Structure 1
Amino acid sequence: MLITQASEVDPSSAEPVEIAQPLLDRLAAIRAEVLRSLTSGDPVYGVNTGMGAMSKVRLTEAEQRIHQRNLLLGRAVGGPPWLPPAEVRAVLLGRLRTFLNGDAGVSAELIQQLVALINSGSLPRIPSEGAGSAGEIIPLAHAFGPLVGIGPSALTPYELGPKEGIALLAGIPGATGRAALHVTRAGRLADQLTAVAAGAIAVVGANRAPYQPLAGRGDAVLAGELARLLELAGPEAEPRSLQAPVSFRVAGQVIAHVRRSVADLDAAVGRAFDGVTDSPAYLGGEFVGTAGFHGIDLTAYCDHLVAALAHAAEVSAARLHRLLDAGVTGLPAQLAHTPGPQAGLVAVHKRAVATTHQLRRLTLPTAIGTAETSNGQEDVQSFSWEAVGNLAEALRLTREVTACELLAVYQAFLLAKRPLPANLQAVADVVPAIVADRPFGEDLTRLLETVLQP
């Protein structure tokens, strides 16, 4: 339950991407239609016109030949910090996934070039911040510049054909791909939250009544979460009290809400991948300007999940505080092996408090605070790129708080001289028995790098 797959942490271990020939043939046929349509000379945004406030400017044939590459060149204005490799790969896969719908009308050759970039292992540097536009043209310009010889690249530069440059920059494929990655990570984190909360419930001898699946009537997600907690915590014949502290009793509701939020974001990712995100999109035999770049759906559900994680972290930190209380656990104060001369895990709780405080500041709705750009042509943003970045940070911080609680649960089992539950046995493999104060940050780092990997 607590172990991740290496391919998500290290993209070099992922399976190569391949596109089936029938799909390539279908996309090639759409591309032929697009090229025929462009011979009419009718204005097509970003193809034979400028972009943004310059969309009324018609381009000569000579200008059109260099325009598609220039679209990437002039918009690569980002810089460090860069996305981690797993998220870079998610951006590239997100773009590939949207191209396979056919709306962009790009060539099979460009798609194969994109596949080669994904499989090359030489990933581009994509800025993690500073998108600041109605879509995500700045990070996408960095993502696909290597295809045309802009920036570091191990690939032979590809000559973009008509519409292919603007297609690379259209929509929100980066935020969608990253959100898809984080959906997987958030689902795994929910499992980790369940395992740690169940350990805490077991070690304090909490009354199991609140975790009866019947208490989840009318809510299948809650009923399932209660059943998992009850199974992992095991029975308790003699509870220490009639009611454990609230932070223990509400574990099912809190984690069920995280799981619902993950499912909501997953559905939004599906809508983003299946919907029309290109603009202009080639739909029904003609070019149609769309607003597929306005990712408010994705932004809202990223924010929703961030808030759910912040609440889960707050509840985890509260349980951790109770685990330090001898009146709740019946164990030595602050889970110290020798209270008094030793401080125990009190500072671990302080780290959890600071981390939770940092997490709370991510819960401001991302789409609030639009501003005009491009001489007023772009006067609204949804900031989906920033929203998914907040989510990545929220996942990291929630994992930190979870590690703090997990270390306390582990120490409580040791002091109680009770065997660790099977699903937490991996902790003992990386954290030595705690018999004296020591730099517990090292233990937390080992837990984050092994047992609680993203």
Structure 2
Amino acid sequence: MTIELDGQSLTAADVISVARDQRPEVRLSDVSRTHLTRTRDYVESHWLKADAPPIYGFNTGVGKLKDSAIPLDQIGLFQEMLINSHSSGVGEPLPQEVVRATLLLRANAFARGCSGVRPELVERLLAMLNGDVLPFIPEAGSVGASGDLAPLAHMAGALVGHPQAEVFYGGQRLPARDALEAVGISPVEFKLAAKEGLALINGSTVTLAIAILAAHDARQLLANAEIALALSLEAMRGELAAFDPRIHEARPHHGQGTTADIVRRLTTGSQRCTEAARQVALPDEGRLPAQTIAARVQDAYSLRCAPQVHGPVREALAYVDQTLAREINSATDNPLIFEGEQGYEVLSGGNFHGQYLAQAMDLLAMVVTDLGSISERRTYRLLDPTMSYGLPSNLVAQLPGLNTGYSIAHCSMAAL
């Protein structure tokens, strides 16, 4: 399996596959390579000459130094110093799955063709990814407003073969130059051209990598929570009326309707979620076998209102997925280059800013917390015979006292 990058068609599923699972080979599409070459040829023939106008990041400094001209013979040195000055991250290394996703996403952003970098730069990113040469990127150092400057500078340091840059390769942490040489990526010391240093570090790509992995895991959590919900209904001989489609058609939110439909399908044919099953007296229920009880009528909120809680989680995840899908195929550095009728034009903007991702992840954190909260309440109910309609205390069927059961597991859930 091979994934071709064109800056327009990469999916979250592709990112997960590259970061975690199948690890397919990734290559730059021929169309993108041609586009990058054509754009870079124009940049070097028109903008990298003595009489060129000031162009941010190409022949000027960055940030507050945007009005400082960079002489042509010092542009290469400027790229090196830019990477050096921004390699200021601290903390433990990011997980390798995040680093793999970051390499992929940065290459794909360049493949869109708006950054003005050489195809050789993209090919080197992909050679590191395909060779599993993963830069040491400290987990802390980015505030997102200017993109992930410090984390991406550490990535760039490994890419160029900086003497102090480190990578993970073959289960070891070692100097980047040693790993590049071992894999056969040459030259070991890679010289950046004008604007390439800025292009490498100016974008919220690390944040995006983390967000894609978190959103994928959140969807798995939601799926597991709904399976656990159905099993909890089975265990406690719950009422299924709360999942009747007519209730959810009367309040037609897509998310809650979907949850109700999933629970109905999972409990189809259940012999426990019935009135007959509820009439059976369990040993810990505190009633005699011959004693009848009133109909259950309705269950507690953690069971009955699950569609109304899980539903907003599902809809929030849809918003998050939509935001991430757009970000995956976005050009996120500054400035950007666009082809027009009179050649190319360079425009300064703010696509590097991480607010879309920050807002999406704030929402993700909030709704996953809600999902965890209602799941914890269902777990507590399972452990208490007065709430579970007779299940053994702490779900200890044998050797109570010797066997503590699941009370401490639930305690951890409550703590989280």
Shift of residue 13, structure 1, vs aligned partner? 4.7
Answering whether residue 96 of structure 2 is matched by residue 85 of structure 1, we say: yes
Shift of residue 341, structure 1, vs aligned partner? 5.0
CA contact (8 A) 2:124 2:159 kept: yes
Aligned amino acid, residue 246 of structure 1: Y
Match 2:332 to one of 249, 255, 277: 277
**Which aligned segments of 4 or more residues in structure 1 are displaced greater than 6 angstroms?**
none
Answering whether residue 364 of structure 2 is matched by residue 305 of structure 1, we say: yes
Match of 1:134 in 2: 146
Correspondences of 1:89-100 after superposition (within 5 Å): 89-100=100-111
RMSD: 2.2
Match of 1:268 in 2: 323
Match of 2:394 in 1: 334
CA contact (8 A) 1:146 1:157 kept: no
Correspondences of 1:370-409 after superposition (within 5 Å): none
Shift of residue 327, structure 1, vs aligned partner? 2.1
Correspondences of 1:172-187 after superposition (within 5 Å): 172-187=204-219
Match of 2:200 in 1: 168
Structure 2: runs of 5+ lacking an equivalent: 1-12, 167-175, 181-187, 279-295
Shift of residue 9, structure 1, vs aligned partner? 9.7
Query: CA separation of 1:162/1:201 partners in 2, compared to 1, >3 Å: closer, same or farther?
Result: same
Answering whether residue 299 of structure 2 is matched by residue 244 of structure 1, we say: yes
CA contact (8 A) 1:89 1:118 kept: yes
Pick the structure with more strand per residue.
2
Query: CA separation of 1:283/1:20 partners in 2, compared to 1, >3 Å: closer, same or farther?
Result: closer
CA contact (8 A) 1:277 1:290 kept: no
Shift of residue 12, structure 1, vs aligned partner? 7.9
In structure 2, C-alpha distance between the alignment counterparts of 1:12 and 1:195, rounded to whole Å? 24
CA deviations 1:185-215 (Å, max 9, x no partner) are 2222221111112111111111001112332
Structure 1: runs of 5+ lacking an equivalent: 356-454
Correspondences of 1:121-270 after superposition (within 5 Å): 121-132=132-143, 134-150=146-162, 151-152=165-166, 153=176, 154-155=179-180, 156-217=188-249, 218-234=252-268, 235=270, 236-238=273-275, 240=278, 241-270=296-325
Answering whether residue 118 of structure 2 is matched by residue 107 of structure 1, we say: yes
Query: CA separation of 1:10/1:292 partners in 2, compared to 1, >3 Å: closer, same or farther?
Result: closer
CA deviations 1:44-87 (Å, max 9, x no partner) are 12221111122221112232121112211221111321111111
Match 1:37 to one of 32, 42, 46: 46
CA contact (8 A) 1:76 1:142 kept: yes
What is the SS of the residue equivalent to 1:17?
strand
Answering whether residue 410 of structure 2 is matched by residue 349 of structure 1, we say: yes
Structure showing greater Rg = 2
Match 1:25 to one of 24, 27, 34: 34
In structure 2, C-alpha distance between the alignment counterparts of 1:274 and 1:10, rounded to whole Å? 17
In structure 2, C-alpha distance between the alignment counterparts of 1:12 and 1:147, rounded to whole Å? 24
Query: CA separation of 1:307/1:12 partners in 2, compared to 1, >3 Å: closer, same or farther?
Result: closer
- 84-93 or 228-237: which moved more? 228-237
Match of 1:406 in 2: none
What is the SS of the residue equivalent to 1:286?
strand
Match of 2:6 in 1: none
Pick the structure with more helix per residue.
1
